[in-house]
Amino acid sequence: MNTITHSKFKEQTNLVTTLQNIWTTIDKQTLLWVSLFGVAFGLVECAVVVYIRELYYPDGFDFPLVAISTRVIKTELWREAATLLMLAAVGYVAGKNKVQRFAYFLLSFAVWDIFYYVFLKLIINWPASFMTWDILFLLPIAWFGPVIAPIILSLLMIVLAIMLLYKNTPLNFTEWALLIAGAFVSIVSFTWEYVQFLSSHSHQNQTGEQVMHLSLTYVPQHYPWWIFAIALLLIGASMLMYTIRVSARQRKLAQMQMFI
């Protein structure tokens, strides 16, 4: 067996061993139920959007947005706040410590977000592609982006959740800082063009109602992928630093146990 083949075989063996260790370490029952909650919640979220689009977009959702009653908009804002609270509550109940609670929150959030789009595709055949624009969130202002962007973030969240559940070690200050910075920058990428649009078309004495009317003329066109790439790099750096640090610590502990 040559050196290259031996190296590849060793890498594959290490990967299989790591996956086996993850499978035996993680609480599979809790993982399953949290994931099922995310799937079911994705269907609930999808149902709400289907109803709204039947009422306001009978010919199919598209930009610019149509005018929606103030009562419905306020209800949507409260619903989104309640959604975050419910996902956080699931994480808190499912986890046994702070690390697990955060991990299960990430997992439920990511599964919910992915299956929201899965069910929309199954029920109303939307989105047309991964590059289809969507209004992603309303708090604290409206977020816009192609569907693929939140899906990529959700996949990263699932990987991070599995890492945290497997390692069961909290992030340190630097890792938290990078992760929070990445999350913030990703939000900037979703609001970047919209904020520029509002700032360039509004004036100082404009009322809230006028700003709302202006928002209805907005049509997203250019997503700042470079900002999103920075967000992914920051999040990826946090995950990489965490993996290296915790793995090195575990190897050191294993070596110390050999001499006991």
CA distance 167 to 235: 18
- Report pLDDT digits (tens) over 28-41: 999 999 999 999 99
Listed residue (91, 69, 88) closest to 80, CA to CA: 88
**What pLDDT is stored for residue 202 in this prediction?**
74
Q: Where are the domains of the chain?
A: 24-258
Q: Please give the radius of gyration of the chain, using alpha carbons only, rounded to the nearest integer.
A: 22
Query: Percent of the chain beyond pLDDT 90?
Result: 74
Helix (H) / strand (E) element for 93: namely: helix 70-94
Name residue, tokens 């269907």. Answer: 43
Count of alpha carbons within 13 angstroms of residue 140, beta-carbon side: 3
**What pLDDT is stored for residue 126 in this prediction?**
97
Confidence bin at 214 (pLDDT 50/70/90)? confident
* DSSP state letters, 47-81: HHHHHHHHHH-TT---SSPPP--HHHHHHHHHHHH
Q: Which residues, other chains included, contact 241 with Cβ-Cβ below 8 Å and sequence gap of 6+?
A: 174, 175, 178
Q: Give me the chain's average pLDDT, please.
A: 90
pTM: 0.89
**What pLDDT is stored for residue 252 in this prediction?**
74
Q: Which residues, other chains included, contact 5 with Cβ-Cβ below 8 Å and sequence gap of 6+?
A: none
Confidence bin at 212 (pLDDT 50/70/90)? confident
Confidence bin at 211 (pLDDT 50/70/90)? confident
Q: Is the pLDDT of residue 122 over 90?
A: yes
Name residue, tokens 């699932």. Answer: 158
| Beta-carbon count within 10 A of 77 CB | 13
The residue that leads in pLDDT, 212 or 167, is 167
